[in-house]
């Protein structure tokens, strides 16, 4: 596949994945974004800023370098582009980044409290407690620095940025969207559990076994 074909394919993939954010009610209006690293190039494809979800298409996606500078596209990149770019520059294993304001996960971010590993689904996907990152201002790479600093010490593909909301990462953009969907689901369930009492954390050795099975054995 040529570079041009790869970018075109990612434009289509990223545009389609934004529909998953609305389908699972993880975003409202124009908030939130999905990006994908372009393989073999210091580039990424990301949602444009301030364009409504029903107007997104492969053609409206934009391409930037890994410092957030526009390379291809007719629109300004997302306001979170600098954060995504910082993640790609510093976490070479990451191929996709997602940001949402999904309500239950964002409520945990507002509290500045990690989501405890009290469910097998949390152990499976996140490998332990879902961590909280520092408060950071929007517009430069401050958020990206907080994401990287937090996730480097965790198996979790998700971070709850304090006072802001969740970011998720993955080996590709689809994996990052999956993590965002699962994050909101467990954030909601643990919130409900907290209304009934204090749920017990899963033992660390069991978390390790569950995580290894899910990451290496589960599925096709």
Distant-in-sequence, close-in-space partners of 87: CB < 8 Å, separation ≥ 6:
94, 97, 144, 147, 148, 167, 169
How much is the pLDDT for 103?
Answer: 98
Enclosing H/E stretch for 111? helix 103-111
Strand ordering across the sheet containing 158-161:
70-72, 62-65, 43-46, 33-37, 96-99, 165-170, 158-161, 132-133
Closest CA to 115 of 69, 156, 75: 156
> Over its length of 220 residues, how does the chain's per-residue pLDDT go in tens digits?
798 999 999 999 999 999 999 999 999 999 999 999 999 999 999 999 999 999 999 999 999 999 999 999 999 999 999 999 999 999 999 999 999 999 999 999 999 999 999 999 999 999 999 999 999 998 889 999 999 999 998 999 999 999 999 999 999 999 999 999 999 999 999 999 999 999 999 999 999 999 999 999 987 7
Active site residue 84: no
Catalytic: which of 18, 80, 99, 185? Answer: 99
Catalytic: which of 18, 88, 124, 211? Answer: 124
Active site residue 74: no
How much is the pLDDT for 219?
Answer: 76
Active site residue 24: no
How much is the pLDDT for 153?
Answer: 86
Range of the domain at 93: 3-216
- Overall domain count for the chain: 1
Tokens representing residue 63 in the block: 């391409």
Catalytic: which of 18, 84, 86, 164? Answer: 164
Active site residue 208: no
SS3 content of the chain, % helix, strand, coil (to 5): 45, 15, 40
Question: Between helices 81-90 and 142-151, what is the axis angle to 10°?
Answer: 40
How much is the pLDDT for 104?
Answer: 98
Catalytic: which of 101, 129, 172, 214? Answer: 101
Active site residue 101: yes
**For residue 157, what is the domain's CATH number?**
3.40.225.10
How much is the pLDDT for 40?
Answer: 93
């Amino acid at each position: 596949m040529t570079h041009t074909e790869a970018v075109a394919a990612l434009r289509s993939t990223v545009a389609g994945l934004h529909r998953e954010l609305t389908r699972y009610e993880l975003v409202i209006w124009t908030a939130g974004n999905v990006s994908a690293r372009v393989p073999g190039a210091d580039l990424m494809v990301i949602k444009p800023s301030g364009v409504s979800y029903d107007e997104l298409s492969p053609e409206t996606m934009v391409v930037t370098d890994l410092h957030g500078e526009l390379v291809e596209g007719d629109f300004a990149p997302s306001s979170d582009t600098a954060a995504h770019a910082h993640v790609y520059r510093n976490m070479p294993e990451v191929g996709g980044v997602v940001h949402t304001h999904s309500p239950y996960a964002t409520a945990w971010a507002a509290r500045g409290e990690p989501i405890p590993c009290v469910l097998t689904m949390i152990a499976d996907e996140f490998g332990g407690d879902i961590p909280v990152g520092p408060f950071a201002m929007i517009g430069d790479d401050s958020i990206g620095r907080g994401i990287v600093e937090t996730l480097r010490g965790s198996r979790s593909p998700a971070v709850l940025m304090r006072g802001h909301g969740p970011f998720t990462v993955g080996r590709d953009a689809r994996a990052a969207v999956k993590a965002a969907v699962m994050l909101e689901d467990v954030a909601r369930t643990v919130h409900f559990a907290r209304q009934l009492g204090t749920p017990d954390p899963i033992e660390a050795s069991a978390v390790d076994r569950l995580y290894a099975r899910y990451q290496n054995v589960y599925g096709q």
